[in-house]
Amino acid sequence: MHGVSPSVELVARLRAAGCVFAEEEAAQLVEAAGDPAELEALVRRRVAGEPLEPLVGWVDFCGLRLAVEPGVFVPRQRTALLVREVVAMVGPGDVVVDLGCGVGAIAAAVRAAVPEVEVYAVDLDLAAVACARRNLPADRVFEGDLYDALPGHLRGRVAVVAANAPYVPTDAIALMPREARDHEHRGALDGGPDGLTVQRRVIAGAVGWLRPHGHVAVETGRTQLTGTEAAMRAAGFAVSVREDDETGGVAAIGSTPGH
């Protein structure tokens, strides 16, 4: 319904349902709907608690409109911190791997900022892989379990392994907003008993894939940060931490010795 402005009633319905940015959401829903009946169906689903982004089919991340499908992890704005850190560490021709890529948000944003970078992305979730192949060159997106899915010719060539691996402890998933816990695939949220199960595998596995002076960059939570740093040091990395108070983003950077 392009060119149609959201009604006052529509904005009021969304605000009453708890949508903080009701005007913006109303405009996106109107844009996504083909006719009034479809708009009403979308609004009812949003009011019932479904996340906005899969309903409209996209998310705005680092200035990019990325495809998102129902069930797939929706990129959070706090992950822009990790993107900025990766961008600062790479140049033309460098290889960046986005592990547990979801819709491919990190790889897509890094590629947009440094067009000559060589990006590869991996996810275990077939729905996420399908989205990532819409947001990235399809032949650079692989389905599989972390490093197992990467082509062997990348071994020893990777400048940065970046990962927003799940870091929510299993018992804490019940405390997440319902948009996440009820509508995103559990594998994209569940980080195991202490939230670090997948992270530890990402960090330990990076050693065999990074080039000299390479980095592993991981988004983590404030309560998981000590464990993330310990995992990096155990793998032989020098560790630095970046935080963004505005978005709540936390990034741990592991650098190979000598950098």
pLDDT tens profile 48-101: 888 899 999 999 999 999 999 988 988 999 999 999 999 999 999 999 999 999
Strand order in the sheet with 95-99: 141-143, 118-123, 95-99, 158-163, 210-219, 249-255, 238-244
Cα 184 to Cα 20, 163, 166, 221: the distances in Å are 20, 18, 12, 19
Say how many Å lie between the first and final Cα of the chain, rounded. 53
pLDDT for 18 equals: 86
Provide the token pair at 15: 């605000």
pTM score above 0.75: yes
What single-letter amino acid sits at 118? E
Percent share of the chain, pLDDT over 70: 91
Contact residues for 36 (Cβ-Cβ < 8 A; gap 6+): 1
**Is residue 7 very low, low, confident or very high in pLDDT (cuts 50, 70, 90)?**
confident
Is residue 172 predicted with pLDDT exceeding 70? no
8 A C-beta contact, residue 250 and residue 241: yes
Q: What is the pLDDT of residues 201-247, one digit of tens each?
A: 999 999 999 999 999 999 999 999 999 999 999 999 999 999 999 99
Q: Across all residues in the chain, what is the average pLDDT?
A: 90
